[in-house]
């Protein structure tokens, strides 16, 4: 009877729409249990790629994330009390000088890490993303992004779950197994999002708080210690076997086995994994901010994901989140619009993602991992009197990873438009479709069955498809950081060296003979700004011959040949 009561208490405490968070290295982790459609992902994709969904909870202010340089005066006039300055030590960071003038944007000054990743070709930005008739409710807006529908749709399933569910509808009888021992989705934290739900609405997991409680609970369930013939599984009457109730209850009871397997497996993977030495995941905002915004909640989540991936986990989808973006008031400090809650949040996202990407690179994993930010809506153009911004419509989406097609898609919205909302330039499903097809390899038919068929012909080029990664990345970098051919060449008494930088950098430029000896220092540890730089050099003291000139900066290492004729 004791075990029966334990089982009933177990079922009683289950939240049908919640996951099974337990503490892994002190961090709550949700097991997307065996019947979740996300457990189909590994078998669905013919690659080992991983998607990280980074939720910016509350509605991120896109205009203070990406400042429209070409319309700065209008931007400032419409939100003067929260506008990021265009001068001084805390001015915005010019993102990309090679973009057309109307597309030029500045990053918030606390997004130094994101700027570095962009210059490395690991960031894709999509401007003005939302959907028709954007819903301003946090809960409804979030559900729409997760379900993958229109503003007037009410799906009970999520877009990822729906995609995977129609491929393996009879899953999960044979899982976990030796080929797929891991849960296919992990949500870091105490919530489970609609994005993970299957079409049949069966709940995905249970909720507990720590490994010991988790292991002890499952050890006392489903016949582990029950007497044979005495309520071994709590199976409902056979007349209910084919009913929705019977299917759901059978799934719940079968979860006991799955929970034990996955919890044990996750602990093994965690113990086997590691993070890179010397990578610092920032924990605190280094400047002034409200106390609740000082701590970086993303760093521990992303560090855990990197360690699990290093340990060999085959999980395909991770969801991490950071809250606090509902900035109606005190978005900035009244004495400095570059400081405050929103500044700290953007620092946390930027710095944690930089550490995460560096960690993945050192672990040899960066080509497998794609991260996308989601937020339920943007904020309005005009600020309010409380040093904040109110619910709006469209906002930028940020994508990180070595597999993204780097750059900026879209342009700055016309800020002189009447009303306070930004126009929608792209539907969010144009990006989802690209992720499913170009990242995970979904077929056209699978996209249609996921209800994204209308976006097959308009999906955005945000992913480097097979064979394009090296070419696109080289082209991207060369347009922004390059050592040009000197002129004249061949030269006699003098020549002019030139190079282009997309971000301020310390430069070393030297001329070497063919034995590798330095014969002339052209530039030594000198800082140059953004743009084209030309340096005339006297060669009269050098003998005729072939030489090599070499440049070194954080983002550019290159050499070219110079011939001197006398």
Q: Can you spell out the DSSP letters for 520-545?
A: EEEEEEEEE-SEEEEEEEE-TTSPSE
Q: What is the DSSP string of 445-492?
A: HHHHHTT-GGGTTT----B--TT-HHHHHHHHHHHHSEEPPPBSSSBS
Rounded to 10°, the helix 244-272/211-219 angle is 130
Reduce the DSSP state of residue 385 to 3 states and report it. Answer: coil
Window from 53-67, 244-258, 355-369 with minimum mean pLDDT: 244-258
Question: For the chain, what percent of residues have pLDDT higher than 90?
Answer: 65
The CA angle 77-79-84, to the nearest 5 degrees, is 100
Examine the domain organization and report whether 553 and 412 are in the same domain. Answer: no
Examine the domain organization and report whether 412 and 314 are in the same domain. Answer: yes
Domain C-terminal end among 405, 440, 474: 474
Examine the domain organization and report whether 528 and 430 are in the same domain. Answer: no
Q: Quote the DSSP letter at residue 424.
A: P
Examine the domain organization and report whether 456 and 515 are in the same domain. Answer: no
Q: Quote the DSSP letter at residue 227.
A: P
For the record, the structure tokens of 75 come out as: 């931007």
For the record, the structure tokens of 97 come out as: 């000088």
pLDDT, residue 316, reads 83
Examine the domain organization and report whether 147 and 213 are in the same domain. Answer: yes
Examine the domain organization and report whether 555 and 410 are in the same domain. Answer: no
Q: How far is CA 210 from CA 23, 47, 190, in A?
A: 4, 32, 12
Which whole number is the average pLDDT over 451-463? 96
Distance (Å, whole) CA 128 – CA 223: 54
Nearest to 279 by CA among 310, 312, 323: 310
Give bridge partners of residue 28 from the DSSP assignment.
Answer: 23
| Sheet arrangement for strand 494-501 | 482-483, 494-501, 531-538
pTM here? 0.86
Examine the domain organization and report whether 432 and 494 are in the same domain. Answer: no
Examine the domain organization and report whether 211 and 319 are in the same domain. Answer: yes
Window from 4-8, 189-193, 511-515, 538-542 with minimum mean pLDDT: 4-8
| Domain region containing 254 | 2-474
Confidence of residue 471 (pLDDT cuts 50, 70, 90): low
Buried b (16+ CB within 10 A) or exposed e, 372-385: bbbbbbbbbbbbbe
Distance (Å, whole) CA 449 – CA 142: 22
Examine the domain organization and report whether 369 and 498 are in the same domain. Answer: no
For the record, the structure tokens of 218 come out as: 């499952």
* Token pair 């930010």: residue: 373
Q: What is the CATH number of the domain that holds 532?
A: 2.60.40.1930
Examine the domain organization and report whether 325 and 399 are in the same domain. Answer: yes
Domain C-terminal end among 454, 474, 494: 474
Domain C-terminal end among 446, 474, 502: 474
Which whole number is the average pLDDT over 339-354? 98
pLDDT, residue 472, reads 75
Number of domains present in the structure of the chain? 2
Confidence of residue 189 (pLDDT cuts 50, 70, 90): confident
Window from 92-106, 206-220, 293-307, 361-375 with minimum mean pLDDT: 206-220
Q: Is the peptide bond before 176 cis (omega within 30 degrees of 0)?
A: yes
Collect all residues with Cβ–Cβ distance below 8 Å to 173 and sequence separation of at least 6: none
Window from 55-59, 287-291, 345-349 with minimum mean pLDDT: 287-291
Examine the domain organization and report whether 415 and 519 are in the same domain. Answer: no
Confidence of residue 350 (pLDDT cuts 50, 70, 90): very high
Nearest to 496 by CA among 505, 488, 507: 488
Examine the domain organization and report whether 430 and 547 are in the same domain. Answer: no
Q: How far is CA 62 from CA 337, 363, 377, 384, 422, in A?
A: 15, 32, 9, 16, 10
Q: What is the DSSP string of 331-375?
A: SSBTTBTTSSHHHHHHHHHHHHHHHHHHHHHHHT-GGGEEEEEE-
Please check whether residue 376 is in contact with residue 145, taking contact to mean a CB–CB distance below 8 angstroms: yes
Ramachandran class of 338: left when φ > 0, alpha when ψ lies in -120 to 50, beta otherwise:
alpha
Which whole number is the average pLDDT over 348-363? 98
For the record, the structure tokens of 507 come out as: 């430069």
pLDDT, residue 403, reads 94
């Amino acid at each position: 009877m004791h075990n029966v009561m334990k089982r009933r208490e177990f079922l009683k405490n289950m939240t049908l729409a919640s996951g099974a968070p337990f503490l892994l290295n002190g961090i709550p982790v949700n097991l997307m249990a065996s019947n979740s459609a996300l457990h189909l992902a590994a078998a669905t994709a013919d690659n080992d790629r991983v998607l990280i969904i980074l939720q910016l909870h509350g509605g991120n202010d896109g205009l203070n994330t990406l400042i429209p340089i070409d319309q700065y005066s209008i931007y400032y006039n419409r939100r003067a009390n929260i506008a990021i300055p265009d001068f001084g030590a805390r001015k915005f960071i010019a993102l990309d000088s090679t973009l057309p003038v109307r597309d030029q944007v500045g990053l918030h000054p606390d997004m130094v890490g994101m700027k570095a990743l962009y210059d490395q070709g690991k960031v894709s930005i999509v401007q003005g993303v939302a959907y028709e008739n954007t819903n301003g409710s946090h809960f409804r807006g979030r559900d729409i992004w997760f379900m993958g529908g229109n503003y007037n749709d009410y799906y009970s399933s999520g877009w990822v779950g729906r995609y995977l569910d129609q491929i393996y509808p009879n899953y999960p009888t044979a899982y976990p197994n030796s080929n797929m021992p891991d849960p296919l989705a992990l949500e870091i934290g105490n919530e489970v999002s609609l994005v993970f739900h299957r079409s049949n609405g069966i709940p995905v997991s249970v909720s507990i708080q720590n490994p010991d409680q988790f292991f002890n609970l499952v050890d006392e369930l489903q016949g582990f210690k029950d007497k044979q013939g005495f309520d071994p599984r709590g199976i409902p009457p056979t007349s209910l076997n084919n009913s929705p109730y019977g299917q759901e209850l059978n799934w719940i009871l079968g979860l006991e086995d799955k929970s034990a397997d996955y919890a044990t497996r996750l602990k093994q993977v965690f113990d086997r994994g590691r993070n890179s030495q010397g990578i610092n995941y920032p924990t605190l905002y280094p400047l002034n901010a409200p106390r609740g915004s000082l701590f970086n909640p993303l760093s521990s989540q992303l560090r855990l994901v990197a360690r699990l991936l290093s340990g060999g986990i085959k999980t395909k989808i991770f969801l991490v989140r950071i809250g606090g973006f509902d900035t109606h008031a005190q978005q900035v400090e009244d004495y400095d619009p570059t400081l405050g809650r929103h500044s700290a949040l953007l620092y946390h996202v930027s710095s944690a993602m930089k550490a995460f990407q560096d960690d993945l690179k050192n672990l040899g994993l960066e080509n497998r991992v794609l991260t996308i930010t989601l937020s339920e809506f943007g904020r309005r153009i005009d600020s309010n009197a409380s040093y904040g911004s109110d619910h709006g419509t469209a906002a930028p989406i940020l994508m990180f990873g070595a597999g993204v097609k780097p750059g900026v898609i879209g342009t700055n919205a016309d800020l002189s438009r009447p009303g306070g909302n930004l126009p929608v330039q792209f539907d969010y499903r144009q990006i989802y479709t690209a992720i499913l097809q170009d990242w995970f390899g979904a077929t056209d038919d699978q996209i249609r069955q996921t209800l994204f068929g209308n976006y097959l012909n308009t999906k955005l080029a945000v992913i480097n498809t097979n064979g394009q990664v090296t070419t696109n990345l080289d082209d991207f970098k060369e347009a922004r950081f390059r050592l040009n051919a000197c002129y004249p060449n061949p030269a006699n008494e003098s020549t002019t060296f030139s190079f282009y930088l997309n971000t301020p950098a310390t430069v070393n430029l030297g001329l070497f003979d063919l034995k590798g000896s330095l014969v002339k220092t052209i530039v030594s540890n000198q800082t140059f700004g953004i743009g084209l730089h030309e340096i005339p050099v006297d060669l009269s003291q050098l003998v005729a011959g072939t030489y090599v000139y070499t440049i070194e900066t954080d983002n550019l290492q290159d050499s070219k040949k110079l011939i001197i004729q006398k």
